[in-house]
Structure 1
Protein backbone atom coordinates (compact mmCIF):
# COMPACT_ATOMS: atom_id res chain seq x y z
CA UNK A 1 0.00 0.00 0.00
CA UNK A 2 1.29 3.46 -0.86
CA UNK A 3 1.92 6.08 1.79
CA UNK A 4 -0.38 9.02 2.39
CA UNK A 5 -4.17 9.11 2.23
CA UNK A 6 -6.40 9.22 -0.82
CA UNK A 7 -9.78 10.95 -0.31
CA UNK A 8 -12.24 11.37 -3.17
CA UNK A 9 -15.29 13.63 -3.46
CA UNK A 10 -18.23 12.25 -5.43
CA UNK A 11 -21.79 13.23 -6.29
CA UNK A 12 -24.01 14.37 -9.13
CA UNK A 13 -23.58 17.81 -10.65
CA UNK A 14 -25.13 20.34 -8.29
CA UNK A 15 -24.47 18.26 -5.16
CA UNK A 16 -22.15 20.94 -3.79
CA UNK A 17 -19.04 18.83 -3.27
CA UNK A 18 -16.66 21.21 -5.06
CA UNK A 19 -17.55 24.06 -2.72
CA UNK A 20 -16.31 22.04 0.28
CA UNK A 21 -13.09 20.51 -1.01
CA UNK A 22 -11.04 23.71 -0.57
CA UNK A 23 -12.21 24.10 3.03
CA UNK A 24 -11.20 20.53 3.86
CA UNK A 25 -7.80 21.07 2.26
CA UNK A 26 -7.27 24.13 4.47
CA UNK A 27 -8.35 22.24 7.59
CA UNK A 28 -6.00 19.34 6.80
CA UNK A 29 -3.09 21.70 6.19
CA UNK A 30 -3.81 23.44 9.48
CA UNK A 31 -3.66 20.00 11.12
CA UNK A 32 -0.14 19.51 9.77
CA UNK A 33 -0.82 17.50 6.60
CA UNK A 34 0.69 18.20 3.21
CA UNK A 35 -2.24 18.21 0.80
CA UNK A 36 -2.48 17.77 -2.95
CA UNK A 37 -5.78 19.13 -4.25
CA UNK A 38 -6.78 17.91 -7.70
CA UNK A 39 -9.73 16.94 -9.87
CA UNK A 40 -11.01 14.59 -12.55
CA UNK A 41 -11.19 14.69 -15.42
CA UNK A 42 -8.08 16.84 -15.21
CA UNK A 43 -5.18 17.39 -12.86
CA UNK A 44 -2.43 17.41 -15.52
CA UNK A 45 -1.97 19.50 -18.69
CA UNK A 46 -2.91 16.52 -20.86
CA UNK A 47 -5.88 15.53 -18.72
CA UNK A 48 -7.17 19.12 -18.66
CA UNK A 49 -7.20 19.13 -22.48
CA UNK A 50 -9.19 15.90 -22.43
CA UNK A 51 -11.53 17.44 -19.85
CA UNK A 52 -12.38 20.28 -22.23
CA UNK A 53 -13.24 17.76 -24.92
CA UNK A 54 -15.38 15.72 -22.54
CA UNK A 55 -17.31 18.74 -21.31
CA UNK A 56 -17.94 20.41 -24.64
CA UNK A 57 -17.52 18.08 -27.64
CA UNK A 58 -20.21 15.69 -28.84
CA UNK A 59 -19.31 12.00 -28.48
CA UNK A 60 -20.78 8.63 -27.60
CA UNK A 61 -20.46 6.77 -24.30
CA UNK A 62 -17.53 4.61 -25.43
CA UNK A 63 -15.51 7.64 -26.51
CA UNK A 64 -16.34 9.31 -23.20
CA UNK A 65 -15.12 6.32 -21.25
CA UNK A 66 -11.91 6.00 -23.25
CA UNK A 67 -11.08 9.68 -22.76
CA UNK A 68 -11.90 9.53 -19.04
CA UNK A 69 -9.57 6.59 -18.46
CA UNK A 70 -6.82 8.11 -20.61
CA UNK A 71 -6.99 11.27 -18.50
CA UNK A 72 -7.05 9.18 -15.31
CA UNK A 73 -3.96 7.20 -16.23
CA UNK A 74 -1.95 10.39 -16.84
CA UNK A 75 -3.33 11.85 -13.63
CA UNK A 76 -2.31 8.79 -11.62
CA UNK A 77 1.19 8.65 -13.11
CA UNK A 78 1.98 12.35 -12.84
CA UNK A 79 0.09 13.58 -9.76
CA UNK A 80 -1.69 11.06 -7.53
CA UNK A 81 0.89 8.29 -7.28
CA UNK A 82 3.85 10.64 -6.60
CA UNK A 83 1.89 12.59 -3.98
CA UNK A 84 0.86 9.42 -2.14
CA UNK A 85 4.44 8.15 -2.26
CA UNK A 86 5.54 11.39 -0.58
CA UNK A 87 3.06 10.72 2.22
CA UNK A 88 0.65 13.49 1.26
CA UNK A 89 -3.12 13.58 1.58
CA UNK A 90 -4.64 13.64 -1.90
CA UNK A 91 -8.07 15.24 -2.22
CA UNK A 92 -9.56 14.46 -5.62
CA UNK A 93 -12.79 15.95 -6.96
CA UNK A 94 -14.18 12.79 -8.64
CA UNK A 95 -12.42 9.52 -9.43
CA UNK A 96 -13.39 6.10 -10.79
CA UNK A 97 -16.77 5.99 -9.01
CA UNK A 98 -17.84 8.90 -11.22
CA UNK A 99 -17.08 6.87 -14.34
CA UNK A 100 -19.28 4.00 -13.20
CA UNK A 101 -22.02 6.44 -12.15
CA UNK A 102 -21.97 8.71 -15.21
CA UNK A 103 -20.85 6.57 -18.14
CA UNK A 104 -22.16 3.35 -16.56
CA UNK A 105 -25.47 4.14 -14.90
CA UNK A 106 -26.10 7.47 -16.61
CA UNK A 107 -25.19 6.55 -20.18
CA UNK A 108 -26.04 2.86 -19.79
CA UNK A 109 -22.54 1.73 -20.77
CA UNK A 110 -21.51 -1.87 -20.02
CA UNK A 111 -20.14 -2.06 -16.45
CA UNK A 112 -17.98 -5.08 -17.24
CA UNK A 113 -16.26 -3.17 -20.03
CA UNK A 114 -15.71 -0.25 -17.65
CA UNK A 115 -14.16 -2.65 -15.14
CA UNK A 116 -11.81 -3.93 -17.84
CA UNK A 117 -10.85 -0.35 -18.78
CA UNK A 118 -10.26 0.39 -15.12
CA UNK A 119 -7.80 -2.51 -14.80
CA UNK A 120 -6.09 -1.58 -18.05
CA UNK A 121 -5.65 2.13 -17.29
CA UNK A 122 -4.85 1.91 -13.59
CA UNK A 123 -2.14 -0.75 -13.66
CA UNK A 124 0.87 -1.51 -15.82
CA UNK A 125 4.16 0.12 -16.71
CA UNK A 126 4.87 3.21 -14.64
CA UNK A 127 2.18 2.58 -12.04
CA UNK A 128 2.35 0.74 -8.75
CA UNK A 129 0.11 -2.38 -8.85
CA UNK A 130 -1.77 -1.28 -5.74
CA UNK A 131 -3.16 1.78 -7.51
CA UNK A 132 -6.04 -0.52 -8.37
CA UNK A 133 -6.93 -0.20 -4.69
CA UNK A 134 -9.89 2.00 -3.87
CA UNK A 135 -9.48 5.41 -2.27
CA UNK A 136 -9.10 5.34 1.49
CA UNK A 137 -12.30 7.37 1.83
CA UNK A 138 -14.98 8.47 -0.61
CA UNK A 139 -17.18 11.35 0.49
CA UNK A 140 -20.46 10.91 -1.36
CA UNK A 141 -22.46 14.14 -1.53
CA UNK A 142 -26.00 12.82 -1.87
CA UNK A 143 -28.78 15.17 -2.92
CA UNK A 144 -32.12 14.68 -4.72
CA UNK A 145 -31.61 15.28 -8.46
CA UNK A 146 -34.42 17.84 -8.47
CA UNK A 147 -32.59 19.93 -5.84
CA UNK A 148 -29.33 19.64 -7.77
CA UNK A 149 -31.10 20.78 -10.95
CA UNK A 150 -32.40 23.88 -9.19
CA UNK A 151 -28.90 24.74 -8.03
CA UNK A 152 -27.45 24.27 -11.50
CA UNK A 153 -30.10 26.49 -13.08
CA UNK A 154 -28.87 29.38 -10.93
CA UNK A 155 -25.18 28.74 -11.66
CA UNK A 156 -22.96 29.19 -14.70
CA UNK A 157 -23.84 28.18 -18.25
CA UNK A 158 -24.10 24.37 -18.20
CA UNK A 159 -21.63 22.04 -19.89
CA UNK A 160 -22.77 18.93 -21.79
CA UNK A 161 -23.16 16.93 -18.57
CA UNK A 162 -24.82 19.66 -16.49
CA UNK A 163 -27.34 20.24 -19.28
CA UNK A 164 -28.64 16.66 -19.11
CA UNK A 165 -32.26 16.17 -17.97
CA UNK A 166 -33.19 15.25 -14.41
CA UNK A 167 -33.82 11.65 -15.51
CA UNK A 168 -30.13 11.31 -16.41
CA UNK A 169 -29.06 12.48 -12.96
CA UNK A 170 -31.59 10.16 -11.35
CA UNK A 171 -29.77 7.27 -13.04
CA UNK A 172 -26.38 8.69 -12.03
CA UNK A 173 -27.54 9.05 -8.41
CA UNK A 174 -28.70 5.43 -8.48
CA UNK A 175 -25.28 4.47 -9.80
CA UNK A 176 -23.61 6.19 -6.86
CA UNK A 177 -25.97 4.47 -4.45
CA UNK A 178 -25.03 1.11 -5.97
CA UNK A 179 -21.33 1.89 -5.63
CA UNK A 180 -21.81 2.92 -2.00
CA UNK A 181 -23.76 -0.24 -1.23
CA UNK A 182 -20.93 -2.28 -2.68
CA UNK A 183 -18.23 -0.59 -0.60
CA UNK A 184 -19.84 0.65 2.65
CA UNK A 185 -16.51 0.66 4.49
CA UNK A 186 -15.11 3.19 2.00
CA UNK A 187 -18.10 5.42 1.31
CA UNK A 188 -19.36 8.06 3.72
CA UNK A 189 -22.70 9.57 2.73
CA UNK A 190 -22.97 13.33 3.17
CA UNK A 191 -26.51 14.72 3.11
CA UNK A 192 -25.78 17.69 0.88
CA UNK A 193 -29.39 18.85 0.77
CA UNK A 194 -28.72 20.44 4.17
CA UNK A 195 -27.50 24.06 4.66
CA UNK A 196 -23.83 24.63 3.88
CA UNK A 197 -22.76 24.81 7.55
CA UNK A 198 -24.39 21.47 8.35
CA UNK A 199 -22.81 19.84 5.31
CA UNK A 200 -19.41 21.14 6.40
CA UNK A 201 -19.96 19.74 9.90
CA UNK A 202 -20.87 16.30 8.50
CA UNK A 203 -17.78 16.35 6.34
CA UNK A 204 -15.42 17.30 9.15
CA UNK A 205 -16.91 14.69 11.49
CA UNK A 206 -16.33 11.91 8.95
CA UNK A 207 -12.73 12.94 8.29
CA UNK A 208 -12.05 13.36 12.02
CA UNK A 209 -13.42 9.89 12.70
CA UNK A 210 -10.77 8.51 10.32
CA UNK A 211 -8.05 10.22 12.38
CA UNK A 212 -7.00 12.90 9.88
CA UNK A 213 -8.49 15.81 11.86
CA UNK A 214 -9.07 16.50 15.54
CA UNK A 215 -12.54 15.67 16.83
CA UNK A 216 -14.63 18.77 17.52
CA UNK A 217 -16.22 19.05 20.98
Structure 2
Protein backbone atom coordinates (compact mmCIF):
# COMPACT_ATOMS: atom_id res chain seq x y z
CA UNK A 1 0.00 0.00 0.00
CA UNK A 2 3.03 2.28 -0.11
CA UNK A 3 3.08 3.05 3.62
CA UNK A 4 5.92 3.15 6.11
CA UNK A 5 7.04 0.19 8.19
CA UNK A 6 5.31 -0.99 11.37
CA UNK A 7 7.88 0.75 13.57
CA UNK A 8 7.17 4.18 12.07
CA UNK A 9 5.11 6.82 13.87
CA UNK A 10 2.10 6.41 11.58
CA UNK A 11 2.14 2.69 10.98
CA UNK A 12 -1.42 1.61 10.34
CA UNK A 13 -2.77 0.66 6.94
CA UNK A 14 -6.30 1.66 7.88
CA UNK A 15 -6.15 4.81 10.04
CA UNK A 16 -4.06 7.68 11.42
CA UNK A 17 -3.30 6.11 14.80
CA UNK A 18 0.22 7.07 15.87
CA UNK A 19 2.64 4.86 17.76
CA UNK A 20 2.28 6.74 21.05
CA UNK A 21 -1.46 5.96 21.22
CA UNK A 22 -1.66 2.36 20.07
CA UNK A 23 -1.91 1.05 23.64
CA UNK A 24 -5.03 3.13 24.37
CA UNK A 25 -7.99 0.79 23.92
CA UNK A 26 -10.44 3.58 24.76
CA UNK A 27 -9.74 5.41 21.51
CA UNK A 28 -11.76 4.75 18.38
CA UNK A 29 -10.02 4.71 15.01
CA UNK A 30 -12.37 4.60 12.06
CA UNK A 31 -11.21 2.55 9.09
CA UNK A 32 -10.44 4.97 6.31
CA UNK A 33 -6.91 5.65 5.11
CA UNK A 34 -3.57 6.52 6.61
CA UNK A 35 -3.16 10.16 5.59
CA UNK A 36 -0.10 10.85 7.76
CA UNK A 37 2.37 8.25 6.55
CA UNK A 38 4.94 9.15 3.94
CA UNK A 39 3.75 7.50 0.76
CA UNK A 40 5.82 5.16 -1.36
CA UNK A 41 4.85 3.48 -4.65
CA UNK A 42 2.22 0.80 -4.09
CA UNK A 43 3.25 -2.76 -4.90
CA UNK A 44 -0.24 -3.83 -5.99
CA UNK A 45 -2.21 -0.71 -6.97
CA UNK A 46 -5.00 -2.81 -8.48
CA UNK A 47 -5.98 -4.21 -5.06
CA UNK A 48 -8.44 -2.01 -3.21
CA UNK A 49 -7.68 -1.13 0.40
CA UNK A 50 -10.77 -2.86 1.81
CA UNK A 51 -9.46 -6.13 0.39
CA UNK A 52 -6.38 -6.06 2.63
CA UNK A 53 -7.45 -8.11 5.64
CA UNK A 54 -5.28 -8.94 8.69
CA UNK A 55 -4.14 -12.56 8.62
CA UNK A 56 -4.76 -14.52 11.83
CA UNK A 57 -1.55 -16.52 11.32
CA UNK A 58 0.51 -13.33 11.40
CA UNK A 59 -1.33 -12.29 14.56
CA UNK A 60 -0.32 -15.59 16.15
CA UNK A 61 3.31 -15.42 15.04
CA UNK A 62 4.01 -11.76 15.77
CA UNK A 63 2.19 -11.48 19.09
CA UNK A 64 3.59 -14.74 20.43
CA UNK A 65 7.05 -13.42 19.49
CA UNK A 66 6.44 -10.38 21.68
CA UNK A 67 5.16 -12.45 24.61
CA UNK A 68 8.20 -14.72 24.51
CA UNK A 69 10.62 -11.83 24.08
CA UNK A 70 9.15 -9.93 27.02
CA UNK A 71 9.42 -12.99 29.26
CA UNK A 72 12.92 -13.96 28.19
CA UNK A 73 14.30 -10.42 28.43
CA UNK A 74 13.23 -10.33 32.08
CA UNK A 75 14.78 -13.74 32.75
CA UNK A 76 18.06 -12.79 31.06
CA UNK A 77 18.58 -10.23 33.83
CA UNK A 78 18.71 -12.93 36.50
CA UNK A 79 22.26 -13.80 37.54
CA UNK A 80 21.62 -17.55 37.37
CA UNK A 81 20.09 -17.52 33.89
CA UNK A 82 23.02 -19.16 32.09
CA UNK A 83 23.84 -21.53 34.93
CA UNK A 84 20.33 -22.75 35.73
CA UNK A 85 17.29 -21.06 34.16
CA UNK A 86 18.41 -21.57 30.56
CA UNK A 87 18.45 -25.36 30.82
CA UNK A 88 15.22 -25.39 32.84
CA UNK A 89 13.39 -23.53 30.08
CA UNK A 90 14.81 -25.86 27.43
CA UNK A 91 13.68 -28.87 29.46
CA UNK A 92 10.21 -27.38 29.93
CA UNK A 93 9.97 -26.92 26.16
CA UNK A 94 11.12 -30.50 25.59
CA UNK A 95 8.43 -31.72 27.99
CA UNK A 96 5.72 -30.18 25.77
CA UNK A 97 7.40 -31.63 22.64
CA UNK A 98 8.88 -28.38 21.34
CA UNK A 99 12.49 -28.30 20.13
CA UNK A 100 13.93 -25.14 21.64
CA UNK A 101 17.30 -23.85 22.77
CA UNK A 102 19.08 -20.61 23.63
CA UNK A 103 22.36 -19.63 21.99
CA UNK A 104 24.67 -16.64 21.99
CA UNK A 105 23.87 -13.99 19.40
CA UNK A 106 26.12 -13.97 16.35
CA UNK A 107 26.14 -10.18 16.34
CA UNK A 108 26.18 -9.37 20.07
CA UNK A 109 28.17 -11.86 22.11
CA UNK A 110 26.62 -10.65 25.38
CA UNK A 111 23.07 -11.26 24.18
CA UNK A 112 21.00 -14.40 23.81
CA UNK A 113 18.97 -15.59 20.85
CA UNK A 114 16.64 -18.58 20.74
CA UNK A 115 15.08 -21.05 18.35
CA UNK A 116 12.56 -19.50 15.98
CA UNK A 117 9.36 -21.52 16.30
CA UNK A 118 6.76 -22.26 13.65
CA UNK A 119 3.02 -21.86 14.17
CA UNK A 120 2.21 -25.35 15.55
CA UNK A 121 4.99 -25.14 18.15
CA UNK A 122 3.97 -21.63 19.15
CA UNK A 123 0.46 -22.90 19.81
CA UNK A 124 1.89 -25.57 22.13
CA UNK A 125 3.97 -22.97 23.95
CA UNK A 126 1.05 -20.59 24.43
CA UNK A 127 -1.13 -23.41 25.73
CA UNK A 128 1.28 -25.38 27.87
CA UNK A 129 4.53 -23.58 28.73
CA UNK A 130 4.68 -23.24 32.56
CA UNK A 131 5.40 -19.53 32.92
CA UNK A 132 4.73 -19.68 36.66
CA UNK A 133 7.73 -22.00 37.08
CA UNK A 134 9.97 -19.09 36.12
CA UNK A 135 8.11 -16.00 37.36
CA UNK A 136 6.73 -16.21 40.86
CA UNK A 137 3.68 -14.72 42.51
CA UNK A 138 0.86 -12.71 40.98
CA UNK A 139 3.09 -11.47 38.18
CA UNK A 140 3.82 -14.99 36.96
CA UNK A 141 0.15 -15.93 37.09
CA UNK A 142 -0.79 -12.84 35.09
CA UNK A 143 1.85 -13.49 32.43
CA UNK A 144 0.73 -17.09 32.08
CA UNK A 145 -2.85 -15.83 31.84
CA UNK A 146 -1.76 -13.53 28.99
CA UNK A 147 -0.31 -16.49 27.09
CA UNK A 148 -3.30 -18.77 27.62
CA UNK A 149 -5.86 -16.07 26.89
CA UNK A 150 -4.11 -14.97 23.72
CA UNK A 151 -4.29 -18.54 22.44
CA UNK A 152 -8.03 -18.58 23.23
CA UNK A 153 -8.52 -15.27 21.39
CA UNK A 154 -6.62 -16.58 18.39
CA UNK A 155 -8.81 -19.69 18.24
CA UNK A 156 -11.93 -17.51 18.28
CA UNK A 157 -10.63 -15.18 15.55
CA UNK A 158 -9.88 -18.06 13.20
CA UNK A 159 -13.36 -19.57 13.40
CA UNK A 160 -15.18 -19.71 10.09
CA UNK A 161 -18.27 -18.06 11.54
CA UNK A 162 -19.10 -15.92 14.57
CA UNK A 163 -22.43 -14.60 15.77
CA UNK A 164 -22.88 -10.90 16.52
CA UNK A 165 -22.84 -11.61 20.26
CA UNK A 166 -19.64 -13.65 19.92
CA UNK A 167 -17.98 -10.78 18.05
CA UNK A 168 -19.08 -8.32 20.74
CA UNK A 169 -17.74 -10.64 23.43
CA UNK A 170 -14.46 -10.99 21.54
CA UNK A 171 -14.06 -7.21 21.41
CA UNK A 172 -14.42 -7.00 25.19
CA UNK A 173 -11.94 -9.83 25.75
CA UNK A 174 -9.34 -8.31 23.41
CA UNK A 175 -9.51 -4.99 25.25
CA UNK A 176 -9.20 -6.75 28.60
CA UNK A 177 -6.18 -8.63 27.27
CA UNK A 178 -4.39 -5.47 26.12
CA UNK A 179 -5.26 -3.75 29.40
CA UNK A 180 -3.67 -6.60 31.36
CA UNK A 181 -0.61 -6.56 29.10
CA UNK A 182 0.27 -2.92 29.82
CA UNK A 183 -1.51 -2.33 33.14
CA UNK A 184 0.26 -0.03 35.58
CA UNK A 185 1.20 -1.06 39.11
CA UNK A 186 -1.93 -1.07 41.26
CA UNK A 187 -1.84 -0.23 44.97
CA UNK A 188 -4.23 -2.19 47.17
CA UNK A 189 -6.78 -0.18 49.19
CA UNK A 190 -5.69 0.31 52.82
CA UNK A 191 -2.47 -1.54 52.12
CA UNK A 192 1.12 -0.73 51.20
CA UNK A 193 1.29 -3.71 48.82
CA UNK A 194 0.97 -3.38 45.05
CA UNK A 195 -0.21 -5.59 42.23
CA UNK A 196 2.68 -5.29 39.77
CA UNK A 197 2.13 -4.22 36.20
CA UNK A 198 3.53 -6.44 33.48
CA UNK A 199 4.87 -4.55 30.48
CA UNK A 200 5.26 -1.05 29.12
CA UNK A 201 2.71 0.73 26.97
CA UNK A 202 5.44 0.96 24.34
CA UNK A 203 5.52 -2.84 24.16
CA UNK A 204 2.00 -2.89 22.69
CA UNK A 205 2.64 -3.62 19.02
CA UNK A 206 0.67 -2.63 15.91
CA UNK A 207 -0.50 -6.24 15.60
CA UNK A 208 -1.99 -6.08 19.09
CA UNK A 209 -3.55 -2.66 18.67
CA UNK A 210 -4.87 -2.06 15.19
CA UNK A 211 -5.03 -5.60 13.83
CA UNK A 212 -6.42 -7.39 16.87
CA UNK A 213 -8.26 -4.62 18.68
CA UNK A 214 -9.13 -1.50 16.69
CA UNK A 215 -9.97 -2.95 13.29
CA UNK A 216 -10.22 -6.73 13.42
CA UNK A 217 -13.68 -6.56 15.00
CA UNK A 218 -14.88 -4.42 12.09
CA UNK A 219 -13.56 -6.96 9.59
CA UNK A 220 -15.23 -9.81 11.45
CA UNK A 221 -18.54 -7.95 11.24
CA UNK A 222 -18.06 -6.95 7.60
CA UNK A 223 -16.99 -10.34 6.30
CA UNK A 224 -19.11 -12.54 8.51
CA UNK A 225 -20.04 -15.77 6.76
TM range (shorter): under 0.3
More strand by share: 1
* Structure with more contact order per residue of length (Cα contacts < 8 Å, sep ≥ 6): 1
